Amino acid sequence: MKIPPVKGTRDFYPPEMAVRNWMIDGWKKVSVRNGFEEYDGPIFEYLKMFQIKSGDEIVEQLFSLQDRGGRDLAIRPEITPTLARMVNQQINSLPRPIKWFSVPRLCRAERPQKGRLREFFQWNIDIIGVDSSVADAELIFTTIDYLRMVGLTPKDIQIRISSRKLLAAVLLSVGISEDDLDVLYALLDKKTKLPAETFEQMLLEKVGEQAKADEISSFMAVASIDEIGQAVTMDSDIERAVVELETVFASLAVMGVAEYCVFDPSIVRGLAYYTGIVFEVHGATGELRAIAGGGRYDNLLRDFGGPAISATGMGMGDCVLELLLREKGLLDSQLGKRRLDYFVTFADKLFGGTMYEVAAELRSRGYSANFSYKLGGLSKQLKEASAQNAAKCIIIGQEFAESNQLAIKDMTTGEQELVDYGAFLSGLEPRDT
RNA sequence: GUGAAAGUAGCUCAGUCGGUUAGAGCACCAGAUUGUGGAUCUGGGGGUCGCGGGUUCGAAUCCCGUCUUUCACCCCA
């Protein structure tokens, strides 16, 4: 009986695995060089853990299960709750600031579509315990640091930055009540996805008065931080939020990534989760969904039963990123093919035993080496070496019997030289084994 | 969860009006080639035509259901 792969999952054959490893290696490298330390948690948690922050809709999109002891568990759809739990558990002994990263495998039971599967990998970086917006800027910088490293330019991608604090202050000054903020966030978040007229209409329905709707609309249409003063009536809360945004942009300019960044008041982010700076990374064409998103969520630890310590974080999934990199031709160009250091061959069956010995010597010195399992002629063996993309071939033939010499053939140039076996081994650069 | 389109070899696809033993290219394997690879030529293996049911003398082809994929919604932690 043939069993198909499960809906929304991927099989990673060697070529796909190479892509995945390359991507994850890049994430880890950039995290480490930006001063983050890696952590991870279990792949499942108590179901309750994921119900704290979120409503029933999210719970419906969880893969949940019951263990034999009747415990309700769920496969993690995100790692942030685990992070909160882990940090809370040791909050008194952890040196601050806490700069941690992780590349968890996550599962969400959503309907699969372009750039969204049911199982995926997500790079997460978080800074906990730093109130200053420098932490937000650093998070954004680290995100760009990776995207820039893999070859994406400001022409390809844009970091759109806004502030929940600013938006809240504006909405309150317009006369929206505190209780209605969350509902409005959800609507404003859709602004770019809906036709302009539909959006205006829905906004008017939500706020009731045309004057309020107009003021919100004019704020949402602001193209730069400087224009905020013209669109809305400033008050001290708005002023503070604006200053914070300006600080973030100034920091990013100093770090040399200003070209990637743009202020965009239509960046709101879905749920009532964020409390300060929010941002999303989008492809310039805007055809794909967001590549990454993040922001400040100062209530996170408290919501999970810990102290009120501030936090800011970013998540980047592998699916959309891969689509974008493929589109830009940045994947094949950077991805190294499988490369074998040596392929060991014999010109006479007499030397079959020596072939194993030479391969074993190379391997024990940290070099990758293969040989053919078939007892074919040299021609066949070299063909196999080519198929495995071997850098060099070692040919063991009559010269070995006569004077202990190996023929080393460079598979790129086709040139070949005779070397003494012992000299060859002692001449190898030491490698990590 | 809603709607639309698609599904034939490992991959990309052809397959006439419903008619005999379902084809091609690429990939794979082998030979040409027992001291020199990538190329070429020749040959070979590989199919429950997604699955189940129906109509028919006869179904890859028509009908229904179902699964999967893709796209658009919902949602996006």
Question: Is the domain of A196 the same as that of A318?
Answer: yes
Question: Is the domain of A321 the same as that of A346?
Answer: no
- Strand B closer than 7 Å to the CB of A80? yes
pLDDT tens by residue, A54-76: 666 677 889 988 999 999 999 99
> Which range, of A57-66, A160-169, A294-303, A335-344, averages the lowest pLDDT?
A57-66
Question: Is the domain of A215 the same as that of A123?
Answer: yes
- Strand B closer than 7 Å to the CB of A236? no
For residue A95, count CB atoms less than 10 angstroms from its CB and return exposed for 0-12, middle for 13-18, buried for 19 or more: exposed
The H or E element that residue A363 is part of is: helix A352-364
Question: Is the domain of A327 the same as that of A342?
Answer: no
DSSP letter assigned to residue A349:
G
Q: Is A354 inside a domain boundary? A: yes
Question: Is the domain of A270 the same as that of A383?
Answer: no
Written as six digits, the tokens of A128 are 């906990």
Q: Is A71 inside a domain boundary? A: no
For residue A355, count CB atoms less than 10 angstroms from its CB and return exposed for 0-12, middle for 13-18, buried for 19 or more: buried
Written as six digits, the tokens of A192 are 């770019």
CB atoms within 10 A of CB A102: 23
The pTM of the full predicted model, rounded to 2 decimals, is 0.93
- Strand B closer than 7 Å to the CB of A195? no
- Strand B closer than 7 Å to the CB of A383? yes
Written as six digits, the tokens of A19 are 């892509």
Output the distance from A377 CA to B3 C1' rounded to whole Å. Answer: 61
Q: Is A279 inside a domain boundary? A: yes
- Strand B closer than 7 Å to the CB of A190? yes
Residues 239-298 of A with CB under 7 A from strand B: 269-271, 273, 289, 293
Output the distance from A14 CA to B35 C1' rounded to whole Å. Answer: 33
Q: Which of A333, A351, A366 is the last residue of a domain?
A: A333
Question: Is the domain of A189 the same as that of A175?
Answer: yes
- The CATH number of the domain holding residue A343 is 3.40.50.800
- Total of domains in chain A: 2
How does the average pLDDT of chain A come out, rounded? 92
pLDDT tens by residue, A305-335: 999 999 999 999 999 999 999 888 898 888 8
Output the distance from A85 CA to B10 C1' rounded to whole Å. Answer: 45
Q: Is A6 inside a domain boundary? A: no
Helices A210-220 and A164-174: crossing angle, nearest 10°?
160
Question: Is the domain of A155 the same as that of A289?
Answer: yes
Q: Which of A317, A333, A349 is the last residue of a domain?
A: A333
Mean pLDDT for A159-167 is 95
Of A119, A236, A215, nearest in space to A171 by CA: A215
ipTM of the complex: 0.90
* Cα distances (Å, whole numbers) of residue A99 to A275, A291, A314, A365: 19, 22, 12, 37
Output the distance from A316 CA to B10 C1' rounded to whole Å. Answer: 32
Question: Is the domain of A295 the same as that of A410?
Answer: no
DSSP string, A23-83: HHHHHHHHHHHTT-EE----SEEEGGGGTSS--HHHHHTS-EEE-TT--EEEE-S-SHHHH
Q: Which of A312, A333, A354 is the last residue of a domain?
A: A333
Peptide bond into A307 cis (omega under 30): no
| Amino acid in the structure at residue A249 | F
- CA–CA separation, A141 vs A138, rounded Å? 5
Strands (E), A206-327: 261-263, 277-283, 292-296, 311-317
- CA–CA separation, A194 vs A184, rounded Å? 15
Question: Is the domain of A287 the same as that of A208?
Answer: yes
Question: Is the domain of A314 the same as that of A373?
Answer: no
Written as six digits, the tokens of A355 are 């072939």
- Strand B closer than 7 Å to the CB of A382? yes
**Which of the four pLDDT bands, split at 50, 70 and 90, describes residue A380?**
very high
State the pairing for strand pair A390-396/A405-410.
Answer: antiparallel
- Strand B closer than 7 Å to the CB of A110? yes
Domain range holding A366?
Answer: 338-426
Question: Is the domain of A363 the same as that of A412?
Answer: yes
- Strand B closer than 7 Å to the CB of A377? yes
Higher pLDDT, A147 or A57: A147
- Strand B closer than 7 Å to the CB of A111? yes
Q: Is A284 inside a domain boundary? A: yes
Q: What counts of helices (H) and strands (E) characterise chain A? A: 16, 17
Q: Is A72 inside a domain boundary? A: no
Residues 409-428 of A with CB under 7 A from strand B: 409, 411-414, 416
**Chain B, protein-covered positions (CB within 7 A):** 1-2, 28-31, 33-38, 67-77
